[in-house]
Structure 1
Amino acid sequence: MALLDGASILLTGGTGSFGKAFIAYALEHLNPRRLVVLSRDELKQYEARQLFADDPRLRWFIGDVRDRRRLERAMHDVDYVVHAAALKQVDTAEYNPFEFVQTNVTGSQNVIEAAIDRGVRKVIALSTDKASSPINLYGATKLCADRLFISGNHYAAGHPTRFAVVRYGNVMGSRGSVIPFFRSLAERGEELPVTDLRMTRFWITLPEAVAFVVSSFELMHGGELYVPRIPSMRLVDLARVIAPNSPMKEVGVRPGEKLHEEMIASDDARRTLLLDNRYVVMPHIAGWGYEPPEGGRPVPDGWAYRSDTNDLWLTDDDLRALVEKYG
């Protein structure tokens, strides 16, 4: 990718599943001048350093997005930022709400302000399907973060820094994936707990998620929310492919969980364009010279991007191949 070739890049939350996949992709394909990895856990950083053999292009910063001064230090001489740091567990958020506010909301504003003050060119923040029509605190904090990053383009005023957001659903092969959980139950001859037999989910692989973020840097002018056009799958189909001989039991939808995922709400349809392999949700207000992307086609009024009404679906063969490769 020409834009990022030889650039200095900062990755927050860089020792998670996405972070390690991004580092591997960047070292192989982007040839960064420097890739700064900021995260809180020294053990995970140590393990990641071993994984990447202490590549001399990597810089390892222990730090928290709640600490703006540490962010400013980490962003010294940085051209581009990928903001992946977040607290994410739905049930944990309900028990520790203000901790999620401090990391996902205040931490996001700290990233915005540090990027502007340090003269970063472009910032992409990672969002989640749970930020669309949120029904739990985690989703609400991520919606706030999304709006902060979009409005960060106003906040930058005359500064050159621009902000955009990328939103996607479940990531196959990420930490906490249901695949190894189902496999372990099947090996012990136990039933597979399925929250609801009707449940559907969007699905994307880690390499696809990383490539989508990287390509969004090339496209963005600031203020966009990018959503990949990806397939859906039924949870019962996934369970059957992973463990065809295991019985399933319906355990009910957990608090804060949706039956079907949504990545773009119907109220946002009037601002949404379909552009090749992605949807682009344009900003409510764009006072920094924003122009809609060329070639984008408006979606129908009242349309919503939901996993149950999606027109792309994974077949059993698709799921089997993906589970074998990434599970």
Structure 2
Amino acid sequence: MFTDKTILITGGTGSFGKKCVEVLLRSYKPKRLIIFSRDELKQFEMGQKFSPEEFPCMRYFIGDVRDKERLCRAFRGVDYVIHAAALKQVPAAEYNPTECIRTNIGGAENIVNVAADSGVKKVVALSTDKAVAPVNLYGATKLCSDKLFIAANAFTACETVYSVVRYGNVMGSRGSVIPFFIKQREAGGPLTITDTRMTRFWITLEESVHMVLRSFEIAGGGEVLVPKIPSMKITDLAEAIAPGMPTVEVGIRPGEKLHETMITAEDSRHTIDIGDYYVIKPETFKYKGLDGKPVAEGFEYNSGTNEEWLSVPELRDTLKKQCFAIR
């Protein structure tokens, strides 16, 4: 569905955006592939790898999602939008709350309105586990963002379809603990772990891209798509990276959770299982999208109680395939 279409990625110079461009260029033939972001250096560096000379469909558009006028210019003739732009660093968001709000909430509102006015066919916004029962400002702003995209299907009075994809930790993305553990291993240890009980959902960057691209095919509008992915224990990850190396527990950080939750028990009343995804249906308007089997009332999708787990050997194998320095 992406061949001969124009696709725009906000925050396109981030980890997700770069991998998404790689997959789109490898598997499809887009008419135009627009990278919309505010960092000129990152755009320049990305342009060295995906140059318009080698890939004529590539476009690099400097802009900020806070700037509605600039978005209007960028969205002309665009068929599909992947909204990946956000201020994501938890401590930075706590220290600069208004900046986080302006980008993550105000920016989302701009995307909704400009996509409607520009005739965009479908918008898929990236969400996070931190938007579920948020304990920090970043999570709270992403929850607001999710609500904006869901509600847009009812109030924009246009043909644009808006959906949300929510997943957990992405292996190797910015802020990942993996490079941190590898650096500590090379220094002779020990590895510092915030809490030995901690668990996380686990997904590779390429898997996250394929899930988002598939959502364009199946989403009906107004749902939150939650892929079924495995969990891992932080202690198992440490063992996979540095076998036998001692660890030190340093205490959980402000705004951090022991376990990730992607679907709460309260959401179970309007959540369905469609096989490889859970779908949280909207409550405020009649949903005309996907059909599936209702989950049990009180069901919660939590990394600590997940049915699928990655073992230490599986973690090591996955890390090696992702080209991390695993001995």
1:190 is displaced (CA, Å) by 2.2
CA shift, 1:315, in A, is 1.1
Change over 3 Å in CA distance of 1:94–1:124 after alignment to 2: same
Match of 1:140 in 2: 140
Letter in 2 for 1:115: A
User: Which residue is equivalent to 1:206?
Assistant: 205
Partner of 2:71: 71
State the Cα deviation string for residues 43-84 of structure 1 (Å, max 9, x = none): 000000001133210110000000001111100000000000
Taking the aligned partners of 1:83 and 1:227, their CA distance within structure 2 comes to: 16
What's the TM-score once normalised by structure 1's chain length? 0.97
Shift of 1:292: 4.5
Is the CA contact 1:9–1:79 (under 8 Å) kept in the aligned structure 2? yes
For structure 2, list consecutive stretches of 5 or more residues without a partner in the other structure.
none
Q: How far off is 1:220 after superposition? A: 1.1
Q: 1:176: how far off?
A: 2.2
Partner residue of 1:5 out of 3, 6, 10: 3
Residues 69-123 of structure 1 show CA distances to partners (whole Å, capped at 9, x for unaligned) of 1111100000000000000011111111110000000000000000000000000
Give structure 1 regions of 4+ aligned residues with deviation exceeding 4 angstroms.
none
Q: Percent identity?
A: 55
Equivalent residue number for residue 197 of structure 1 = 196
User: 2:51·2:58 contact (CA, 8 Å) conserved in 1?
Assistant: no
Query: C-alpha distance in 1, partners of 2:94/2:186?
Result: 33
Whether 2:318 is the aligned partner of 1:322: answer: yes
Larger displacement relative to structure 2 (133-142 or 178-187): 178-187
CA deviations over 1:153-193 (Å, ceiling 9, x no partner): 11221x11110000000001212221111111111112111
The 3-state SS of whatever aligns with 1:127 is strand
Match of 2:160 in 1: 161
Q: Which moved more, 1:119-128 or 1:25-34?
A: 25-34
Secondary structure at 1:117 match in 2? helix
TM-score, normalised with respect to structure 2: 0.97
Instruction: Give the match for residue 95 of structure 1.
Output: 95
The answer to whether 1:283 aligns with 2:282 is yes
Aligned equivalents of 1:125 and 1:293: distance in 2? Answer: 18
What corresponds to 2:254 in structure 1? 255
Contact 2:38/2:64 (8 A) holds in 1: yes
Please name the residue that 1:175 is paired with.
Answer: 174
User: Structure 1 stretch 59-68 or stretch 172-181: which is displaced more?
Assistant: 172-181
CA distance in 2, matches of 1:53, 1:76: 22
**Amino acid in structure 1 at the alignment position of 2:288:** E
Distance 2:45 2:100 in 1: 26
Whole-Å separation in 2 of the counterparts to 1:293 and 1:160: 18
The 5-angstrom pairing of residues 216-255 of structure 1 reads: 216-255=215-254
- Identify unmatched segments of 5+ residues in structure 1: none
SS in structure 2 at match of 1:311: coil
Matched, 1:25 2:52: no
Q: Contact conserved, 2:168 with 2:201, CA < 8 A, in 1?
A: yes
Quote the RMSD (CA, aligned, Å). Answer: 0.9
Whether the 8 Å CA contact 1:156–1:162 is kept in 2: the answer is no
Is the Cα contact below 8 Å between 2:221 and 2:289 reproduced in 1?
A: no
User: Take 1:221 and 1:199, find their aligned partners in 2: how far apart are those partners?
Assistant: 35
Name the residue aligned to 1:114.
Answer: 114
In the TM superposition, what is the alpha-carbon distance from 1:254 to its structure 2 partner? Answer: 0.2
Q: CA separation in 2, counterparts of 1:221 and 1:277?
A: 16
Aligned residues, how many? Answer: 321
